[in-house]
């Protein structure tokens, strides 16, 4: 008999699984340590700012009332501005835009015609 060590597939698989389990357990321990440190930092941050947080929470109802007043005032002003502009103004603005578009379309047509004119002269000149 030779004094060699024999490794079966089962023992190899069990050995690999044990190594993986040790790596996973180490990772979990490191993660839990970091999580504990983060929670401790958060707790100390909350403790150091406790008075500021409490005063902010106490002033929230007043802040909400101010925001409500601002939005109500803004809504009233927007309604007045909307009432200022009538349908006639909207129609006039639409007509102005249509007129502007028609004018721009005419300018584009003239520029296109000039471009085509020079393009035709150039081709005619090249044919001679």
Shared domain for 102 and 73, answered yes or no, is no
Shared domain for 76 and 91, answered yes or no, is no
Could you tell me the residue range of the domain that residue 122 belongs to? 86-128
Q: Looking at the predicted structure, is the pLDDT value of residue 23 above 90? A: yes
pLDDT of residue 39: 97
Shared domain for 4 and 37, answered yes or no, is yes
Residue appearing with tokens 């009332």: 65
Shared domain for 13 and 23, answered yes or no, is yes
Task: Answer whether 0.85 is exceeded by the pTM.
Answer: no
Give me the number of domains the chain comprises: 3
Shared domain for 80 and 111, answered yes or no, is no
Those residues whose C-beta lies under 8 Å from the C-beta of residue 53, and which sit 6 or more positions away, are 46
Cα 102 to the center of its chain, rounded Å: 39
pLDDT of residue 84: 66
Shared domain for 80 and 90, answered yes or no, is no
CA distance 56 to 46: 13
Q: Looking at the predicted structure, is the pLDDT value of residue 121 above 70? A: no
Q: Looking at the predicted structure, is the pLDDT value of residue 53 above 60? A: yes
Shared domain for 90 and 71, answered yes or no, is no
Identify the three-state secondary structure at position 90. helix
Express each pLDDT in 57-114 by its tens digit: 888 889 889 888 888 888 888 877 776 665 556 666 677 777 778 788 888 888 887 7
């Amino acid at each position: 008999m030779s004094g060699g060590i024999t490794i079966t597939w089962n023992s190899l698989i069990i050995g690999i699984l044990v190594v993986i389990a040790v790596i996973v357990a180490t990772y979990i321990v490191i993660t839990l340590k970091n999580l504990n440190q983060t929670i401790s930092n958060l707790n100390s941050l909350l403790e150091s700012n406790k008075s500021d947080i409490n005063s902010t929470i106490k002033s929230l109802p007043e802040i909400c009332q101010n925001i409500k007043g601002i939005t109500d005032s803004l809504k009233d002003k927007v309604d007045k501005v909307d009432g200022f502009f009538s349908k006639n103004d909207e129609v006039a603005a639409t007509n102005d835009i249509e007129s502007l578009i028609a004018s721009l379309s005419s300018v584009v047509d003239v520029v296109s015609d000039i471009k085509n004119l020079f393009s035709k002269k150039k081709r005619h000149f090249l044919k001679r």
